[in-house]
Structure 1
Amino acid sequence: MPGVHVLIAPDCFTGTLTAAQAATAMAEGWGRSAPHDTLELVPLSDGGPGFVDVLGANLGGQVHAVTVSDPLGRDVPAMVLVVGDVGYVESAQAAGLHLLTRDERDPTRTTTFGVGQLVQAAIDLGAQRVVIGLGGSGTNDAGAGLLAALGVGTPERLARGGLLLCEANADDVAGLDDARRRLSVIDLVIASDVDSPLLGLKGASAVFSEQKGASPEAAQALESSLSHFASVVARVRPPAKDLLTGTAIRPERQAGAGAAGGLGYALHLLGARQVSGVAAVLEAVGFSERLARSDLVVTGEGSLDWQSLHGKVVVGVADAASHHGVPAIAVPGQSVLGRRDAMSAGISGVYPVVERPAQLEEALADPSGTLATRVVRVARTWSPSPRG
C-alpha cells in the first residue's frame, strides 16, 4: 500500500514556535512514525506573526529592511515585502506582543505608531497596494498611533497609548480627511486575523486587552477611552450612510475594526478594505492546488479555542480542505474547543500537545520536541502501514 500525501500547514505557536519551526517539528514526528508517506510543508499565517515570511517564501519579490518604532517607541528592525506594485507589511513587527517583556506588557500605554511607519515605508518604496497583516499585537490604541504616523494629529497626542485617548479632542483628528485624500491613490488592504468590532463585549478591549497585560479595571478604562475617541472621530467626520437603508456605516462596528487592538478601525477610517488574512495567505501559497494532490492535512496553532473559529488558520485550513474532500486534523499546543465545535468547523480530529496541566512545563521547555512526539502518535492513527 503506498503512503499518503500529507500537507503540513500550521500557523505559528505564539511565543514558542514560528510557523516554519512548527511545520518542521510536525514533519519530523510524522516521518518517525510513517516514513513511507510524502510530506509537503506549507507554513501559514493569518496576518499575524510570520505573515511577511510566509508570503516572501511563496511570492518572491524583494524584502526591504527598515527601522520603525516598537510599542514603547524604541527602534526595532522590520521588513517590507514588495512584489511588483504590492507592498506587504506585518503589524506584529512594529506592534507585536513578542517585542515586550512580561513587565512591559501594558496596553494602556503601547502604541501602533510603528505600524504607520511601516505603511509609509511601503508607499515610499512605490507600492500602489499595501496589504497590512493584523494580529499578534501588544497594543490597544484604536490605531491612533498609526494615524499619527500617517499625518493625522501628532504623536504627542495620539501615540501615547489607548488610555490617554480619553483626552482626545477634535483638533487631534482634524487632519483625517487630508490623510484620506492623500492615501486615496493607494489600495489599502486589511488582512485581519479576527472579525471583532472595536467596542462592546466582543470588541478589542473586552476580549483581547487582558491577554496583552491589562487588568480587568484597565480593560474597562480602555473601553471607555476608545469609545470616547470613536465619538470624537464621528463628530469630525460623520459616518457615511448606506444607500439602501439610510443607516450610518459606523467604522467602529465594521468586522475587523477590533483587530490588533483597533488597528482595523484606524485603517477603515483611512479607506482600507478588509480581506480574510487566512484567505489571502492560502491564495498566495496556492493552497487549493496543494490540496488537490493531498490525502490529509495536518494543521495547528498555539491554542485552539473560540477565537480560532473567527478567522484563524486552523479553521481556514479545515474549511479549504472540506471543499476538496480532504480530512483536516489539528495538533495545537492546547485546546479548549469542544468536539462538536471542532467537527462543525470541519476539523476531523484534535490532538493537543498538552492534554493535562502537568504536561505544560515540559511543552514550554521543549516545544519542538513535544510537538514532534505528539505527531508521532497521531501519525499511527492516520497513516496506514504499508504492505507488501
Structure 2
Amino acid sequence: TAIVEAAQASGLDRVATEERDAWAATSRGTGELIVAATEAGAETVILTVGGSASTDGGSCALEALEAAGVDPDIEVLCDVRTPFEGAARVFAPQKGADPDTVERLTGRLHQLAQDAPRDPRGEPMTGAAGGLAGGLWAHRGARLVLGAGYMLDAVGFDARARESGFVVTGEGRLDAQSLDGKVCGEVATRCLHRGLPCHALVGQNALERSEQLTVELASVDEATTLEELEAAGRRLVSRG
C-alpha cells in the first residue's frame, strides 16, 4: 500500500500566486505519482486530496494512468462532500478563477461527466480536488471516503473522547466549508452525538452564528499567536 498526497504534486501551494491559472492547471502530476507507486509494487494507493490547483475533473491524472497501463486499487480520502458539478463554483475562485473562468470550468466538468463510464454528478465527495476524486470514481472505481473521519478513526478519537470532559478542535479559518467534511466539522459532529462540549480555537472565525449552532460548538475563540493560544487554553480549563 502506498500513500500519495495530491497537494504535493498538483497543489495550489506549489504554484506562485502570479503564475496560477485555474483553466490550465492539471492533475497529471498526481497521476504520475500514482503510476510511480504502482510500478514500485503498490497494489493499493491511498490518495489524499485537498488543496489542489486544478479543476480538470481528474482527466489528466487519468491520462497518466492510461499511458502507463496501470490499474491499482485506489481509495481517495476527501476533505469535502461537494459533488463533481460544484467543484468549480465552490473552489475555483480560490485557485485564481474569475467568474467567466468558473463558468467555463463548470461546462468542462459537465462534459467530462457526460463522457464518463458512470456519471459522478450528484455523488458526494466527487468534487474534491477539482473533481479529481470524481474522475477516479467514474473511470477507475475508486472508493471515496471522508478523510476527516478516516483520520479520526486511525487515531482512536472516539475512545479518547469517551474519556474526556470536553474537546478542543481548530482550523486556520473557520467557515461554512469547515462543516462540509473537514476535520473541524467532523470533530464537532462526533462530539454533538455524544453530548460532549466542543470548543474551537481558530485563526479567523467566518462562521455565521446559525452555522455554529448546527454543530453546537460550545465556543469559538480566535487566536493567532502562541500567547493567545495559551491564554485561550487557560480559559477553557477554567470553564471546566
Q: Normalized against structure 2, the TM-score is what? A: 0.91
The number of residue pairs the alignment matches comes to 239
What pairs up with 1:117-196 in 2 under 5 angstroms? 117-151=32-66, 183=71, 186-196=72-82
What pairs up with 1:1-388 in 2 under 5 angstroms? 86-151=1-66, 183=71, 186-199=72-85, 203-231=86-114, 233-234=115-116, 237=117, 239=118, 250-268=119-137, 269-353=139-223, 370-384=224-238
SS at 1:383 equivalent: helix
Could you tell me how far apart the structure 2 residues matched to 1:347 and 1:227 are?
A: 37
- Specify which structure has the bigger relative contact order, considering alpha-carbon pairs within 8 angstroms and separated by 6 or more residues: 1
Could you tell me how far apart the structure 2 residues matched to 1:271 and 1:375 are?
A: 43
Deviations 1:249-271 (A, max 9, x none): x2233211111111011111211
Could you tell me whether the CA contact under 8 Å between 2:192 and 2:215 is conserved in 1?
Answer: no
Could you tell me whether the CA contact under 8 Å between 1:315 and 1:346 is conserved in 2?
Answer: no
Cα distance, 1:319–1:385 mapped onto 2, change above 3 Å: closer
Deviations 1:31-82 (A, max 9, x none): xxxxxxxxxxxxxxxxxxxxxxxxxxxxxxxxxxxxxxxxxxxxxxxxxxxx
Could you tell me how far apart the structure 1 residues matched to 2:4 and 2:28 are?
A: 14
Deviations 1:259-308 (A, max 9, x none): 11110111112111111110111111222232233333221112111111
Could you tell me how far apart the structure 1 residues matched to 2:106 and 2:215 are?
A: 31
Shift of 1:323: 4.2
Could you tell me how far apart the structure 2 residues matched to 1:371 and 1:321 are?
A: 26
SS at 2:186 equivalent: helix
Could you tell me how far apart the structure 2 residues matched to 1:375 and 1:108 are?
A: 39
Could you tell me whether the CA contact under 8 Å between 1:107 and 1:141 is conserved in 2?
Answer: no
Counterpart amino acid of residue 106 in structure 1: D
Could you tell me whether the CA contact under 8 Å between 2:2 and 2:37 is conserved in 1?
Answer: yes
Q: Identity of aligned pairs, percent?
A: 38
SS at 1:256 equivalent: coil
SS at 1:302 equivalent: strand
Shift of 1:324: 4.3
Q: Normalized against structure 1, the TM-score is what? A: 0.58
Q: Structure 1 regions of 5+ residues with no counterpart?
A: 1-85, 155-178, 240-249, 354-369
Shift of 1:131: 1.4
Cα distance, 1:381–1:339 mapped onto 2, change above 3 Å: farther
Q: Structure 2 regions of 5+ residues with no counterpart?
A: none
Could you tell me how far apart the structure 1 residues matched to 2:227 and 2:60 are?
A: 43
Could you tell me how far apart the structure 2 residues matched to 1:385 and 1:94 are?
A: 44
More helix by share: 2
Shift of 1:100: 0.8
What is the root-mean-square deviation in Å for CA atoms of aligned residues?
2.1
Shift of 1:218: 1.1
Could you tell me how far apart the structure 1 residues matched to 2:238 and 2:111 are?
A: 59
